[in-house]
């Protein structure tokens, strides 16, 4: 739901709660009494404002005085799927932006999704073909699993800063630690928040 002023939210919440409890909408007089509004014109102003915002509608019931209904908007629970990431390979970005369904708790403007390619992080239960939700950030704490770029190649590894260099640790003994020297181009693009698999994607 879009951002509302406290008074508009209170107005809409009252109508929604009244509908839920009684099975029909309140009249203007009942709204005025409940919300301490002094005139029907003020109620009508709220109704018009919320109608224009797409958050309230007048239904075609037999009693036009009880014809207000809150429009419950469906929460979009997808994030952009930007590409595939693997150990020691360039980030393979998808040409066409795709959306992938994720748990609602992980929806955030700074979050995005990558598909994992390879098995360098299997000890952290990140397997080939999994999806990882990334929070875009240029900083990380020691031990975070990060999306890192080393000399323009992306990798998914544990971030281990040292006194004069950085190490990127795999979580599979078959893979080597990546040593990032001061002369290397290095940046962090995000940290891993969540791992999931077997989710269907849109527009595939």
Residue 176 banded pLDDT, cuts 50, 70, 90 = very high
Q: What average pLDDT does the segment 34-49 reach?
A: 91
Give the model confidence (pLDDT) of 132-169 as tens digits. Answer: 999 999 999 999 999 999 998 889 999 999 999 999 99
**Are the CB atoms for 132 and 114 separated by under 8 Å?**
yes
The CA-based diameter of the chain, rounded to the nearest angstrom, is: 77
> Is residue 120 annotated as part of the catalytic site, yes or no?
yes
Model confidence at 87: pLDDT above 60: no
Model confidence at 70: pLDDT above 70: yes
Buried b (16+ CB within 10 A) or exposed e, 128-137: eebbbbbbee
Q: Specify the pLDDT at position 188.
A: 96
Distance CA 149, CA 178 (A): 11
Other Cβ atoms within 10 Å of 147 Cβ, number: 25
Structural domains of the chain ordered from first start: 6-70 (1.10.10.10), 78-202 (2.10.109.10)
* Structure tokens given for 101: 């369904």
Residue 199 banded pLDDT, cuts 50, 70, 90 = very low
167: β partners: 160, 179
Model confidence at 42: pLDDT above 90: yes
Distance CA 167, CA 158 (A): 8
Q: Specify the pLDDT at position 181.
A: 92
3-state secondary structure of 46: helix
Residue 63 banded pLDDT, cuts 50, 70, 90 = very low
Q: Choosing from 8, 117, 136, 157, which is the catalytic residue?
A: 157
Model confidence at 1: pLDDT above 60: no
Q: Measured between alpha carbons, how far is residue 93 from residues 90, 100, 115 in Å?
A: 9, 15, 10
């Amino acid at each position: 739901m879009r951002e509302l002023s406290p008074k508009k939210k209170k107005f809409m919440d009252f109508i929604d709660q009244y509908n839920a409890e009684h099975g029909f909408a309140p009249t203007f007089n009942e709204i005025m009494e409940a919300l301490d509004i002094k005139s029907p014109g003020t109620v009508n102003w709220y109704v018009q404002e919320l109608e224009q915002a797409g958050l309230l509608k007048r239904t075609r019931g037999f009693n036009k005085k009880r014809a207000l209904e809150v429009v419950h908007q469906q929460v979009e629970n997808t994030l952009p799927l930007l590409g595939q990431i693997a150990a020691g390979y360039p980030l393979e970005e998808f040409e066409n932006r795709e959306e992938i369904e994720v748990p609602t708790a992980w929806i955030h403007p700074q979050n995005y999704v990558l598909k994992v390619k390879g098995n360098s992080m299997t000890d952290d239960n990140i397997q080939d073909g999994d999806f990882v939700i990334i929070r875009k950030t240029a900083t990380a704490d020691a031990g975070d699993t990060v999306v890192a770029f080393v000399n323009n190649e992306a990798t998914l590894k544990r971030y281990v800063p040292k006194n004069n260099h950085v190490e990127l640790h795999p979580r599979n003994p078959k893979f080597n630690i990546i040593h990032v020297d001061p002369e290397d181009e290095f940046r962090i693009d995000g940290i891993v928040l969540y791992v999931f698999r077997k989710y269907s994607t849109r527009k595939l």
